[in-house]
Chain A
Amino acid sequence: MRDGLVLGLIPETWRFELTQFPWVRRLLKSRWMPLGLILFNVFLFTVILMAGFFGGLTSPGNYNFGIMIVWILWWVLLMTVLVPVLSRFWCTMCPLPFLGEWLQRLRLFGVRYERGRNLYFGLNKRWPKSLSNMWLMNILFLATTFASGFFTVRPAATFVLLAAIIALSVVLSLIYRARTFCLYVCPVSGFQGLYSNFALTEVRVKDPEICARHKTKGCVVGNERGYGCPWLLLPYAFRRNTYCGMCFECLKTCEYDNMAVNLRPPGVDLLVDEKRGLDEAYKALIMLGIAVVFFVTFQGPWGTLKDWANAATLSGYLAFIGLHASWNLIVLPAIFLLFTWVARRAARQAVPLKKVYVNFSYATVPLGLAAWIAFSLGIILPNGSYLLHVLSDPFAWGWDLFGTAHFPWTPVLTGIMPYLMILTLLVGLLFSIDIALKIARQTFVEPEAAVRDAFPILGFLGATTFGLMWLFVG
């Protein structure tokens, strides 16, 4: 697979500007975007919180609106469509930081701007430098998955999780600047950021020369049309999707209409050889590891494991947490370390092991994403029909709003589901191989030996894929 081409087919530099269409640009420059979407989701999440609250600890998960919308519909949409296609578009419309941001701005619709800068309510402190990375999100996401067995069966668990996230985001918004909560704390932010590097969509500057000549840089400092990038990026310069929350403020603030939303080939940001770090490497491996644990626990044939995760007994639950944490934090990273060590030995070059480890971890992203898409298929195809039920009777109070409250459980395409999962994984593997070969060329100085140098990593990717396939078919 040649450098400069994705899968040897599409130029990495290929872009199709969606904002070239006047109506798209007008829509994204309107202050109703994304406010309208957020308000809709605020309404939806209010119903979800109520369903979680009233559903308590006992009502069956498959008949609870909160559980079905969050863990079936939202999760599946997030993993199969939103992140791989639209990057962090969920962050565009996420209702969780809504209250905090509203308080910071003290405006729902307009822009607070005086004497050359945006005004914010609150202390606007800087987040500690030592926490300005993905480590906290790695830990919080992993910790959240410890309770994964509860989320799908106990509505109150979903209520507690969402309410805690909203409360924390409000408190942090009043103390820290901009979207600190989203950047460094939100448990689902880290993987969205990393996996968005694979996405087909991006917000980017059009002509860097215009920015270079532009003196006032409204995209950073804000102006009367919008806020300086709430995600603390320098919009005229960033090169990866990781931290772009797709809020479209920079489209509103740029005086030259020099920001664009583009379609692009998948995976190109994974090749950006800057800002790579151990925190993101761990994020990639943890996501892959959790996908394996979830398959084994929730879709595998081992009922005991599922009982452990559901806390049928305290000792079983503690065993689940212990195994889950050590697999993700120690065992899988150590296995990957072994493979990268072999790759470095094979390359016989004095590249620091940490650099080899971190660089190649980005090659696991397409495979990790594919594993999550496959896992999501295993959720939605058998269980999707429950959604019709809960839409009609969200609080399990015997309502029948849309006449679908008694729709029977109807699994869809479950006969071919394992093959769909395998196909998804193989596509992910293909992209991972492509990225691994290119990263080998970036990391080691002998580009012509990329296949040899990447061979151990290809081995890791292949073994992981076959392991997962065995789980599906098994």
Chain B
Amino acid sequence: MKRSLAELSPQEVLTVAIWIEERNARIYENYAEMFEWYEPDAARAFREMAEEEREHGRRLAALYAGRYGEAACEVTDADIQELVEVPVVEDGEALIYDRASRRQAFDVGVQAERRARAFYAELVERTADPALRALFDELARVESEHEAFFVRKLAEVDPSENA
């Protein structure tokens, strides 16, 4: 049976968060592959984002190791009800109009991180358990750093590049 994130232990929440970063890195890599054939610039942006997600995952893993050492925890995002921070290219006709661009790619990242931040922030409001609350708070802060990173990348893209 699937559980809500708010029903997990802090250790499980952290495990899921690490898992999500890894999952997103794979999704970005896959978008990179999808776009490679059509739009190498957008593919490059997705690869950069995949690398960044891996880095996020490493940082969370270090946090986990600091708190729980080697203790294994098997939970993944498939065990939870909510769909957290999934990056989705929603423009189903992007390739037809040749509209896929680095700008669009980074925007996908910004939207995903923004949703994740809002999601964890809402969990802070809803959660009574202090340890879990503190962890959600921390994750919301981490996600907002990620969001800022992607916003910076977006700002670096030449505004004349196709929107």
Residues of A with Cβ closer than 8 Å to B? 116-117, 124, 126-127, 129, 132-133, 177, 183, 209, 211-213, 215-217, 220-221, 228, 231-240, 242-243, 275
- Report the separation of the CA atoms of residues A243 and B95 in the bound assembly, to the nearest whole angstrom: 11
6 A-B contacts (beta carbon < 8 Å)? A177-B38, A215-B30, A216-B30, A220-B34, A232-B95, A237-B92
Distance in angstroms between the alpha carbons of A219 and B98 in the assembled complex? 18
A217 touches B38 (CB 8 A): no
CA distance A221 to B27 in the complex (A): 13
The answer, yes or no, to whether B88 is at the interface (CB within 8 Å) is: yes
What residues of chain A lie closer than 8 Å to B94, measured between beta carbons?
A: 234
A132 & B98 in contact (Cβ 8 Å cutoff): yes
Tell me whether A238 and B33 are in contact (CB under 8 A).
Answer: no
Are B90 and A232 in touch, CB under 8 angstroms? no
The residue on A at minimum CB distance from B89 is A234
Q: Report yes or no: A237 in contact with B95, Cβ–Cβ below 8 A.
A: no
Contact, CB under 8 Å: A213 / B86: yes
How many residue pairs link A and B with beta carbons under 8 A? The number is: 69
Specify which chain B residues have a CB less than 8 angstroms from the CB of A228 in the assembled complex. Answer: 34
Contacts of B95 in A (CB 8 A): 232-234
B26 cross-chain contacts in A, Cβ below 8 A = 215
* Chain A, Cβ-Cβ closest to B88: A212
Give A216's nearest chain B residue, CB to CB: B30
Chain B residue nearest to A205 in the complex (CB): B92
A117 in contact with B33 (CB, 8 Å): yes
Which residue of chain A is the closest to B91 with respect to CB atoms? A237
CB distance from A455 to the nearest CB of B (A): 32
Partner of A221, one of B23, B33, B88: B33
Q: Bound complex: CA of A216 vs CA of B90, how far in Å?
A: 16
Q: A212 — which chain B residues lie within 8 A by C-beta?
A: 83, 86, 88
- Point out which of B30, B33, B38, B93 has the most chain A C-beta atoms below 10 A from its C-beta: B93
Given A212-B86, A237-B90, is A231 in contact with B30 using a C-beta cutoff of 8 Å? no
Is the pair B96, A237 in contact by a Cβ cutoff of 8 Å? Answer: no
List of B residues within 8 angstroms of A129 by Cβ:
98, 162
Separation of A163 and B98 alpha carbons in the complex (Å): 29
Question: Is B53 part of the contact surface with A, judged by Cβ < 8 Å?
Answer: no
Using CB atoms, name the residue of chain B closest to A277.
B97
Distance of A160 Cα from B120 Cα, bound (Å): 64
Within 8 A of A (CB), among B26-48: 26-27, 30, 33-34, 37-38
- A236-B86 Cα distance, complex, nearest whole Å: 14
Interface readout for B1-45 with A: 1 if CB under 8 Å, 0 if not?
Answer: 000000000000000000000010011001001100110000000
Given A132-B97, A233-B92, A238-B92: A221 in contact with B86 (beta carbons within 8 A): no
Residues of B within 8 A of A235 (CB): 92
Bound CA–CA A213/B23 (angstroms): 9
Which residues in B have their C-beta under 8 angstroms from that of A217? 30, 34
A183 contacts B96, CB within 8 Å?
yes
Greatest chain B CB density within 10 A among A212, A220, A231, A240 is at: A220
Determine how close the nearest CB of chain A comes to the CB of B152; give it in whole angstroms: 25
Do B98 and A237 touch across chains, with their CB atoms under 8 A apart?
no
Residues of B within 8 A of A231 (CB): 96
Would you call B143 an interface residue if the criterion is a C-beta within 8 Å of the partner chain's C-beta atoms? Answer: no
Asked if B113 is at the interface (CB within 8 A of a chain A CB), the reply is no
- Closest Cβ of chain B to A197, distance in Å, is 13
Report the bound CA distance from A213 to B24 in whole Å. 9
A126, B38: Cβ atoms closer than 8 Å: yes
Q: In the complex, what's the smallest C-beta–C-beta distance from A118 to chain B, in angstroms?
A: 9
Residues of B within 8 A of A213 (CB): 23, 77-78, 83, 86
Which B residues are in CB contact (< 8 Å) with A221? 30, 33-34
The 8 Å CB contact of B98, one of A127, A216, A239, A242, is A127
Contacts of A126 in B (CB 8 A): 38, 98
Q: Convert B87-124 into 0s and 1s, putting 1 for each residue whose CB lies closer than 8 angstroms to a CB of A.
A: 01111111111100000000000000000000000000
Give CA–CA (A127, B38) in the complex, Å.
10
Decide: A232 and B38 in contact? CB cutoff 8 A.
yes
Q: Which 10 A-B pairs have the closest CB atoms?
A: A238-B92, A237-B92, A232-B95, A212-B86, A129-B98, A132-B98, A234-B92, A215-B26, A220-B34, A232-B96
What is the CA–CA distance of A235 and B78 in the complex, to the nearest angstrom?
23
**Contact across chains for A238 and B93 when beta carbons are under 8 A apart:** yes
Residues from chain A with a CB closer than 8 A to the CB of B92 are 233-239
Q: Which one of A217, A234, A240 has the highest number of Cβ atoms from chain B below 10 Å of its Cβ?
A: A234
Given A237-B89, A243-B93, A243-B96, 16 extra CB contacts under 8 A:
A132-B96, A132-B97, A132-B98, A213-B23, A213-B77, A215-B27, A217-B34, A220-B34, A232-B38, A232-B96, A233-B95, A234-B89, A234-B92, A237-B90, A237-B91, A242-B93
